[in-house]
Structure 1
Amino acid sequence: MAKDQRSFLRRNLLTILTVIGVVGGSVTGIILRNALGKWNKRDTMYLAFPGEIFLRMLKCLIIPLLMSSVIHAIGSLDLSLSRKIAFRSIFYYSATTVSAVILGMILVVTIRPGVGVKPMEASNEKYVTREVLTQDTLLDLIRNVFPPNIVQACVSQSQTYLIKPENASLPSNQTNHTIVKNLETWSFEERYESTTNVLGLVTFAIIFGIALGKLGERSKPLLDFFEAASEAMMIITNWVIWLSPLGVYFLVTAKVMEIESFLDLIGRLGLYFTTVLLGLAIHGFGTLSLIYFIAVRRLPFNVIAELSQVLVTAFGTASSSATMPITIQTMDKMGLDPRVTRFVIPIGATINMDGTALYEAVAAIFIAQLRDKPLTFGKTVAVCVTATAASIGAAGIPQAGLVTMVMVLDTVGLPSEDVINIIAVDWLLDRFRTTINVMCDCLGAKLVDILSAGELGDPVTSVDRVNAEPQELVELKHDSRI
């Protein structure tokens, strides 16, 4: 028994330490807040500094790991198999995202968390500074799929900005519908925001991988290069991952110190907060489990249990992109084919945002209820479609959903400033919805791996390669079909 306990602790030590980091950070933040009061932004910045360094390390791994992994995974597969894996992945992600939005709509219309609650008055602080049209956001999404400069895509992505005409006097509660009526007096320009265009990089990597696959034997030196780069990045990930308990501890502590008021969590926004959490829980452990069971005739709870390290890290960092290196490493250790994980996980971290889609649908209807603005069936369907599109366009970074909320609020005919009504609890809900996003990515990779097992053969996993001795590695590479 003692030996089994030691073995369990050895296998799950990192997960246990990370959970301790999350719980310890929450407790420390509450104690410091009660003892010393709310800290100013500079003091909080000092407190969050170790966590910020950890987050920077993870983000630094994203581009080299993403590009090398996707190119090698696609280049190693024949074209017909690539199409099958891509079709299964996209079909799964589409089904889960649509089901998440529908579930959120049903819950918010049934529970009605905004009825009888007084909306907050608009403040001078602008949480969303960019005027935007829904059609511009959708066009920007397509533009970013095809970046004009692949190097530029590593550091920026395209966004359309509407420019207000000089000396124009427009009402402060202006909505996007008002902008449409004045488009002849408004100008627009394309700007590049300082954030990685992951969608464009994934698209380029997929196309480049397909091209290498068509080259046959001539592509082998280049595929070997990307394979070695991918495995080297996984080794670095293994080093960084052991810093996650400490990094998560400081990130959570600093966030708790930034809370404006705990009363908002349990008072005015309590029912809204509960509605979103209930929707995420039902989707994560109900809808996703049902889809997984229908597809592979197995329950996913053992798989979810093995994802504890990934889910805790996703909660602590609130970023599916930053969690991606750890997600891929965990999938490798679970025995999934590396060609599947390196294709499905990056795509999932880019376009699959179930938790964000559910949250944005609930938030839009909640704000409409606050304003006592009844919605027709057509507008409800429009919110469903827009929330789905907005979730795809949301970056895999903390609180990116607040930016895409603009186009969803536009669908309801509400000003963007109304996000002030949910800002107090968004930071915490962001962590829960990111956790569900990452869980969906992992279950999707497992599902596709099971469905593709007969076609993929039995290649050596990357974790075998990383742990092998030099001579063993030579033998593994000789036997591998990759």
Structure 2
Amino acid sequence: MTRETHDTADLPAPQPVELVSIRLPVWWTFGGLIAGLTLGLLLSGSDILEIAAKPINLVGTLWLRGLQMTIIPLVAALLILGISQMAQAARAGATARTFLVLVFAVLVFSGLVSALLLPVLLGIFPIPEAAASMLALQPVAAQQVPEIWAFAESLIAPNLVAAAAETAMLPLTIFFALFAVAIARLPDAQRATLIGFFHALANAMLTIIGWVLWLAPIGVFALAVGVGARSGGGAFATLAHYILVVSAMGGCVLAAAYALAALGAQISPLRFAKGILPSQAVAVSTQSSLASLPAMLASAKRLGIPDATADFVLPLAVAIFRATSPAMNMAVAIYVANLAGIDLTFSVLMIGIAVAFIISVGSVSLPGSISFVVSIGPIALAMGVPVEPLALLVAVEMLPDIMRTLANVTMNVSVTATVDRLRNKT
């Protein structure tokens, strides 16, 4: 009995969800951060700063709350859209299912990278002493770890409204994931109705958060003035430390892509590096996996991956797979927890990995600033980590985002090559 040459013609690969296009003032936001830190440093201890402190703090606080208010509805909508895409992919044949198994394995590995390696890295290269005062965080008492039975009971929320009010992200995330799977099993007309509703909800929330992020230069400037006054020049050192540490976790995923290509696809590291280099150049310049898709298809051809596999798997990867999402998002949450003096237990880290795993599915092709808020906010809330520092850290996200895109694009091609080899062996 011969195996069919390919099984991906039954259903097309789901394409990235089309959401509203939002152009954000990324460099203006970064400029607002630098200007605010500098002004705060210059006015530290002066009467002018004391007089202006309350109105400046008010502007920063209102902008921060504007970011927070959209997190839960936007996460719900994006999760349902992302998981519906994954359910559609699972029905597309054995190649798609092989791809999904690899995706799950890589995402779990990605989350474990930060949970296991970041505390070690921070022990070797500790956060600068000025960091805590920079973010105005006071040490927080260690969380009381619930017994295993109490933790299992908390996974299901009897009242979703109450869970949302308490920002209990783990039970909310589980519910939205189950709801998305249930929608995928509905008759076509009912499924289309609900998917259309959540597509519209996502676009509405993205429009609101787009308005809020257009004000990011003002909001970040207002928050940064107080930060600069409290921490002085240490704020710049802390931000540089943060960028390097978080990017290092993405670097681990990037290295894993080369290892997967060597072990899973049997492609030598040198050959893979030569084949993927043009795609990496596009990834760095565009910071968009979607914009890098044509270059990835060309790299796949150079590496000898059949068009039938590449043309199916790579668009699917762009639609639902972001290899660095758990690693780098967890890294941000762990970093902020260290700033706040929170001792993250094993169970809390596992909660973070679980939420990061699910949230990564809903991180459809969005601008980096929006993805930063939507993806990391739920993880931080689930782990009991303050979300306020995210309002400042979003201003420097375009720098770690280079590593995100670089590693994601490299892993997409590596996984595609591995899927092709695994399918040819069966």
Q: What's the TM-score, normalizing by structure 2?
A: 0.56
CA distances 1:359-397 after superposition (whole Å, capped 9, x unpaired):
379769x999xxxxxxxxxxxxxx795674263377955
Look up the match of 2:23. 14
Structure 1 segment 436-475 matched on structure 2, within 5 A: 440=404, 444=408, 447=411, 451=415
Query: Could you tell me the percent identity over the aligned residues?
Result: 11
CA distances 1:108-152 after superposition (whole Å, capped 9, x unpaired):
4434668xx8999xxxx97647x743345x767655554445xx1
Cα distance, 1:332–1:199 mapped onto 2, change above 3 Å: farther
Counterpart Cα distance in 2 of 1:402 and 1:264: 29
Alignment check: 8 A CA contact 1:344 1:441 kept: no
CA distances 1:206-262 after superposition (whole Å, capped 9, x unpaired):
5325645xxxxxx22133224434554565477557636522213311221332744
Alignment check: 8 A CA contact 2:40 2:228 kept: no
Cα distance, 1:30–1:41 mapped onto 2, change above 3 Å: same
The structure 2 residue matched to 1:255, chosen from 223, 243, 255, is: 223
Q: What's the TM-score, normalizing by structure 1?
A: 0.51
How far off its partner does 1:356 sit?
3.4
How far off its partner does 1:290 sit?
1.6
Look up the match of 2:267. none
CA distances 1:277-304 after superposition (whole Å, capped 9, x unpaired):
43223233x3232223344543545324
Matched, 1:66 2:79: yes
The structure 1 residue matched to 2:287, chosen from 307, 320, 339, is: 307
Letter in 1 for 2:257: Y
Cα distance, 1:13–1:24 mapped onto 2, change above 3 Å: farther
Look up the match of 1:290. 255
How far off its partner does 1:95 sit?
1.9
Structure 1 segment 64-463 matched on structure 2, within 5 A: 64-75=77-88, 77-78=90-91, 83-111=97-125, 128=140, 132-136=143-147, 142-143=152-153, 145-148=155-158, 152=160, 156=163, 193-196=166-169, 197-208=171-182, 211-212=185-186, 219-229=187-197, 231-233=199-201, 236=204, 239=207, 243=211, 246-259=214-227, 261-263=229-231, 266=234, 276-284=242-250, 286-295=251-260, 297=272, 298=276, 300=280, 302-307=282-287, 331=290, 343-344=320-321, 353-356=329-332, 359=335, 385=346, 388-389=349-350, 391-392=352-353, 396=375, 401=380, 404=383, 428=392, 440=404, 444=408, 447=411, 451=415
Q: Give 5+ residue unaligned stretches, structure 1.
A: 1-11, 158-191, 213-218, 309-329, 369-382, 407-418, 457-482
Cα distance, 1:71–1:139 mapped onto 2, change above 3 Å: farther
Alignment check: 8 A CA contact 1:105 1:384 kept: no
Q: Considering only aligned residues, what root-mean-square deviation do their CA atoms show, in Å?
A: 5.5
Alignment check: 8 A CA contact 1:280 1:433 kept: no
How far off its partner does 1:204 sit?
0.7
Letter in 1 for 2:23: L
How far off its partner does 1:430 sit?
7.8
The answer to which structure, 1 or 2, has the higher relative contact order (CA under 8 A, 6+ apart) is 2
Counterpart Cα distance in 2 of 1:358 and 1:255: 22
Counterpart Cα distance in 2 of 1:385 and 1:301: 38
Letter in 1 for 2:218: F
How far off its partner does 1:37 sit?
1.0
SS of alignment partner, residue 259 of structure 1: helix
SS of alignment partner, residue 207 of structure 1: helix
Alignment check: 8 A CA contact 1:103 1:358 kept: no
Q: Give 5+ residue unaligned stretches, structure 2.
A: 1-20, 262-271, 295-312, 357-374, 421-426
Letter in 1 for 2:32: G
Alignment check: 8 A CA contact 1:265 1:424 kept: no
Letter in 2 for 1:193: E
How far off its partner does 1:200 sit?
1.4
Alignment check: 8 A CA contact 2:60 2:222 kept: yes
Question: Size of the alignment, in residue pairs?
Answer: 339
Counterpart Cα distance in 1 of 2:117 and 2:327: 19
Cα distance, 1:59–1:277 mapped onto 2, change above 3 Å: same
Counterpart Cα distance in 2 of 1:235 and 1:331: 19
Cα distance, 1:331–1:244 mapped onto 2, change above 3 Å: farther
How far off its partner does 1:451 sit?
3.6
SS of alignment partner, residue 156 of structure 1: helix
Alignment check: 8 A CA contact 1:105 1:362 kept: no
Letter in 1 for 2:84: I
Letter in 2 for 1:44: N
Alignment check: 8 A CA contact 1:292 1:447 kept: yes
